Each structure stands twice: as C-alpha cells, then as structure tokens.
Amino acid sequence: MANVTVIGAQWGDEGKGKIVDWLASRADVVVRFQGGHNAGHTLVVGDQVYKLSLLPSGVVRGTLSVIGNGVVLDPWHFRDEVAKLRAQGVNVSPETLQVAETCPLILPLHRDLDALREDASGAGKIGTTRRGIGPAYEDKAGRRAIRVCDLAHLDDLGPQLDRLCAHHDALRAGFGQPPVDRDALMADLREVADFVLPYAKPVWLTLGGQREWGKRILFEGAQGVLLDVDHGTYPFVTSSNTVSGTAASGSGLGPSAAGFVLGIVKAYTTRVGSGPFPTEQDNDVGERLGTRGHEFGTVTGRKRRCGWFDAVLVRQALAVAGVTGIALTKLDVLDGFDELKICTGYRLNGKNYGYLPPHARDQASVEPVYETVEGWSGSTAGARSWAELPAPAVKYIRRIEELIGCPVALVSTSPEREDTILVRDPFRD
C-alpha cells in the first residue's frame, strides 16, 4: 500500500505527532484532513520540541505538507504557527505547504460563540478548546462559511457576510452580546489575506498528481475516534469525523486513498475535557500515570484525566475506523507498576456489555470489568528493538493485541523520534 492514514484510537493525545513525524521520513507528502487548531501534536527531535496545532507534522522535516478541505482554518493562527516554526528554524513556505482553497475559516465570532456557550453550560459543558471549532463546522454545514478562496474576493463578500452576521448577531443577542463588528472583521480579513493566499492551492489536484506518480501520502488525523461526532462519546466530542474515511473526503481523494490505517493507541487511557471515562483512576494510579506521562494538554495546558487501558473502547474504535494495525505508544509510562489492569468488558444494570452503549448516561454508569496482568520492574524507556523489552511488557502487548483483535505495527518507548520499535512497516504492507 502506498499510503498510510494515522488516526487516534482513543480520546486524542495518543502520540500521533511523534508517529507521524517518524513515518514522515518515508513519505512524500503529509496531509491534515479534519479538525483545526484544537489539535496539539508534539514532536521531540534532540533538544528541540515542536508543538503543532494546525500545520501537518511533515513541515518539520521539510516534507511537502497539505491542509485539506476538511480542516477548519483560523487564518490568524495559521500565520502565528508558521511564524513560530520559522523562529525554531523550520523552513515553511508555499513551496512546502499548501492549504485547500475550500477550507472554511474560523473567525473571531466562532471563538466568541464557543466560549459563550461553554461559559453558559455550567456542569454540562463539553470542555472544548474554545478555539471556535464547533461553531465553524456548524457554519460550514449551514452554508454560511467564509472560505480561504473568499480571501481573494473580499470586495464581493458583502451578501455572504450579511447572512453570516444575521445568524451570529441573533445568537449573540441571546447571550446579551453586541452584534459582530463587521468593519473590524473585514479589516482583519484584509490584513491576513495577503499572508494566507500564497499558500492557497487546489490541493485535490496536487494530491491527485502525487497519487498518479506513485508518491507516498501520509494522512495525519487529529483528535481520536472516541471524539468523532458520529462514533464518539456524544455529545462530549469534537465536531468533525475523526475516522479514516475522512482522509479521503477531507482532502479530495477517493475512498481507496487511505491505504494502511494505523491507529495510534496509548498503553493506558487519557481524556481532556468532560464526558464519560469508564476506566478513569481519580486516585494514586491516575496521578502516577499523569506525572510519568506528563499528561497536560498541549493546546490548553489542562491536566488530562488518566486511567487503565480500556480494550473494549479500543476494539470498538478500531472497528468503526477500519484500522489495519496499531502503534502502541507510551509503553514506558507503565514501567515500574507491580501490576496493571486492562478493562475487558462492562457491567450495566446486571448485564454484560462488550461495547460502549450509546447513551451518555449509560456511558457514565458502566462498571468496567478488569483483568489484572503482571507489571515489570525493568525499563522499556528508549527501547528501539523488541529484544530490549522485559518479558512481562511483551506479554502486556500480546494480550492487548488479542483483546483488541488487531496487530501491533509500531511501539513507542519515549517522546524522542527514534525511540520507536518497528514491527511491521505500514508503508510496505
């Protein structure tokens, strides 16, 4: 298979950035296809740490990078992230980075609405990144969005802006907020347009050409399957489809483009924001996982909730996302535990469940059924070959494979790029 699609198989932050960066050395082009700057992908190369929210992780290696039509793009954030990477010595230019002309824009009014809703929701809030992602996707589906290509036609924007502002002014009034300042918005758009437009391209054409020439395309998913708007723990989800099928629709290629679907799976579970989390450990175990795993959000700095590995959720996520193989990450964080627990099923109202029921209240009430496995006193940190892993760590991996019904292709043992064990090459399979 020429292409690889990387997706998160839990609630995000599985280590997609590290794996995409590692795989990018074998790819010709790296593509983001959904989400926006709600993502936070961390790459560690020697003493340099790169934190990417919107740009494909391929930019760090200078691999051709593409932001597909399925992404919602905050043009001011785009400019800032390019500047930040340049300040870190990364060469980012329209030669190496392309943005779909059809990407809907995230505007300040989307950020406002995201925050107003969250602040008004009290205990029911989703815990979004407050970056305007949901409201921007709503406007895309509502056919009110301003898109990248509109930046080249700002003098004609009047009627479109009327429709958009009529919608938002009504919502804002409901929150006791003043109408959108249209003059300020237009001035801001004019100011940012010159920066963004050189990157704007018909990326479907670029990617179609790459496919024709037999180039290897690496699709970089953001968030995770459990945050998918259809398959996730609704309503505590993001507003895009995070599964592999979106790689095609979100970049302008047909459904066979996805190739090998690599699900990124953390060796335990984390979640940031609200919503059900059956194996959450609000105790010493959770603290230990969070401390050893440095589980703080890349985007918001929030402490991530931590818990044991949930094989039920991962099996379900891999099934709905069509995953071919997994990369198991952060195995080293489990070093030193005497024993580990794996969730193998749920109990709810006296019944056994082998999947997560769809209703939010049931999801919050399921009791995990655990299997206890032996931990290891040796270290996996920094291991680059299977032979370096302690025997109980190998057993843990094999048991996970069995429970989720999917083979391990890669194992990650530290944040560092090269601390990765290759079991099965996704680009060769």
Say whether residue 332 binds ligand GDP (CB under 6 A). yes
* Among 13, 112, 139, 419, the one annotated catalytic: 13
Nearest Cα to 51, choosing from 297, 410, 305, 333? 297
- Give residue 27's identity as a one-letter amino acid code: A
Of 95 and 418, CB closest to ligand GDP: 418
In the residue annotation, 41 being an active-site residue is answered as: yes
Look at the chain and count its residues. Answer: 429
Binding window for Mg ion (CB under 5 A); candidates: 149-157, 293-301, 312-320, 350-358:
293-301
- The answer to whether 67 touches 101, Cβ cutoff 8 Å, is no
Say whether residue 40 binds Mg ion (CB under 5 A). yes
Binder among 5, 14, 216, 258 for ligand GDP (CB under 6 A): 14
- Closest approach of Cβ 331 to Mg ion, in Å? 18
Of 236 and 376, CB closest to ligand IMO: 236
Residue span 43-62 as binding mask against ligand GDP, x where in contact by CB under 6 A, dash where not: -x------------------
Place of tokens 């050395």: 25
> What are 91's two structure tokens?
């060469």
Binder among 30, 39, 52, 421 for ligand IMO (CB under 6 A): 39
* Among 21, 37, 41, 419, the one annotated catalytic: 41
CA triple 53-291-398, angle to 5 deg: 85
Q: What is the DSSP string of 115-144?
A: HHHHHHSGGG-----SSSHHHHHHHHHTT-
Size of the site for Mg ion (CB under 5 A): 3
Q: How far apart are CA 296 and CA 39, in angstroms?
A: 13
Q: What is the footprint of ligand IMO within residues 109-138 (CB under 6 A)?
A: 126-129, 131, 133-134
Binder among 240, 241, 251, 413 for ligand GDP (CB under 6 A): 413
Binder among 251, 414, 417, 421 for ligand GDP (CB under 6 A): 414
Say whether residue 13 binds ligand GDP (CB under 6 A). yes
In the residue annotation, 168 being an active-site residue is answered as: no
Q: What is the DSSP string of 266-303?
A: ESSEEE-SSS--TTB--SHHHHHHHHHTT-B-TTT-PB
- The answer to whether 227 touches 317, Cβ cutoff 8 Å, is no
DSSP designation for 49? E
Say whether residue 17 binds ligand GDP (CB under 6 A). yes
- Closest approach of Cβ 161 to Mg ion, in Å? 33
Pairing between β-strand 305-307 and β-strand 269-271 as defined by DSSP bridges: antiparallel
Q: Using CB distances below 5 to 8 A depending on partner kind, what does residue 227 bind out of Mg ion, ligand GDP, ligand IMO, none? A: ligand IMO
Q: What is the DSSP string of 144-206?
A: ---BGGGGGGGGG-HHHHHHHHHHHHHHHHHTT-PPP-HHHHHHHHHHHHHHHGGGEE-HHHH
Q: What is the DSSP string of 184-199?
A: HHHHHHHHHHHHHGGG
Say whether residue 220 binds Mg ion (CB under 5 A). no
Nearest Cα to 422, choosing from 407, 401, 402, 403? 407
Say whether residue 40 binds ligand GDP (CB under 6 A). yes
Binding window for ligand IMO (CB under 6 A); candidates: 70-78, 205-213, 220-228, 373-381:
220-228
Say whether residue 42 binds ligand GDP (CB under 6 A). yes
Binder among 10, 329, 342, 409 for ligand GDP (CB under 6 A): 329
Nearest Cα to 263, choosing from 280, 248, 275, 247? 247
Residue span 356-395 as binding mask against ligand IMO, x where in contact by CB under 6 A, dash where not: ----------------------------------------
Binder among 316, 415, 417, 426 for ligand GDP (CB under 6 A): 415
Q: Could you list the residues that contact ligand IMO (CB under 6 A)?
A: 8, 11-13, 38-41, 126-129, 131, 133-134, 222-224, 227, 238-239, 272-273
The residues annotated as belonging to the active site are 13, 41
- List residues binding Mg ion (CB under 5 A): 13, 40, 298
